[in-house]
Amino acid sequence: MILMTKDQKLKTIFNWSTGKDSALALYHLLKDERYDVTKLLTSVNAHYDRVSMHGLRRSLLEAQVAALNIPSVTLELPEQPDMETYETLMLQTLNPLIEEGCTHSAFGDIFLEDLKNYREEQLKKVGLNALFPIWKRDTKALIQEFVSLGFKAIVVCIKADLLDESFVGRELNEDFVRDLPPNVDPCGENGEFHTFCYDGPIFNSAIPFRVSEKTYREYKAPKQDNASHQGFWFVDLLP
């Protein structure tokens, strides 16, 4: 077997969301000798200074990155970006990484075909190849693997129409998965819940934090022109 040197490996951007799927996908990608994860990329809502969708404070993202010991860059988004703004800012963020020699961009997606196709089409425009290390894996098996490997995460956001307030702020473990309603994916792949991964085999050390208050927020449903809104429960984590 021929081992590739670091210079021969494919330079890869990993899209780090701070949660469980990202952590497990990164775990598998780091074990793949074909790729060199040279940069982490995270979308941040610059208005709130928090990770997009997860509502996680930037300081905790930075603590994660330090524990991962991988250089990082953020996609700085306005308070409520439309798709055109998002795609323009993403291109501006990716261009310097492409100039550095990055040829691939990896994600923790599991089974959402529309999202996968969108990512592939957008990356193709700038000459990047898309990677999906845990694509089409069974989500029940994935969450079991996540726990058995020693990863630890806390639920930081839930969709209020699917899960009640008691689910946010809980540890992501076998008890949590057992308590999920039948219509909620064990990995929350449909956006049912989001997590903050604070320990596991990819980190040099656990990220310390403490749980603060819960907050309910409503946002306009994506891709809808009417006044339809979606409700979410968030829990604030403090460094």
Q: What is the pLDDT of residues 154-197, one digit of tens each?
A: 999 999 999 999 999 999 999 999 999 999 999 999 999 999 99
For tokens 């969108």, the residue is 118
**In the chain, what are the domain boundaries?**
10-131, 142-238
Q: What is the CATH number of domain 10-131?
A: 3.40.50.620
Residue 212, number of CB atoms within 10 A of its CB = 12
pLDDT of residue 1: 41
With cut-offs at 50, 70 and 90, classify the pLDDT of residue 47.
very high
Q: What is the pLDDT of residues 202-235, one digit of tens each?
A: 999 999 999 999 999 998 765 544 556 789 999 9
Share of the chain above pLDDT 70, in %: 94
What Rg, from alpha-carbon coordinates, does the chain have?
Answer: 18
pLDDT of residue 155: 98
Question: What's the average model confidence in pLDDT over 36-44?
Answer: 98
Distance of CA 156 to the CA centre of its chain: 12
Distance CA 186, CA 39 (A): 28
Evaluate if residue 45 carries a pLDDT over 90: yes
With cut-offs at 50, 70 and 90, classify the pLDDT of residue 144.
very high
What values do phi and psi take at 33, rounded to 5? -70, -5
Average pLDDT, the chain: 94
Evaluate if residue 2 carries a pLDDT over 70: no
Evaluate if residue 39 carries a pLDDT over 70: yes
pTM: 0.93
DSSP secondary structure code for residue 171 in this structure: B
Distance CA 206, CA 203 (A): 7
Distance CA 59, CA 117 (A): 32
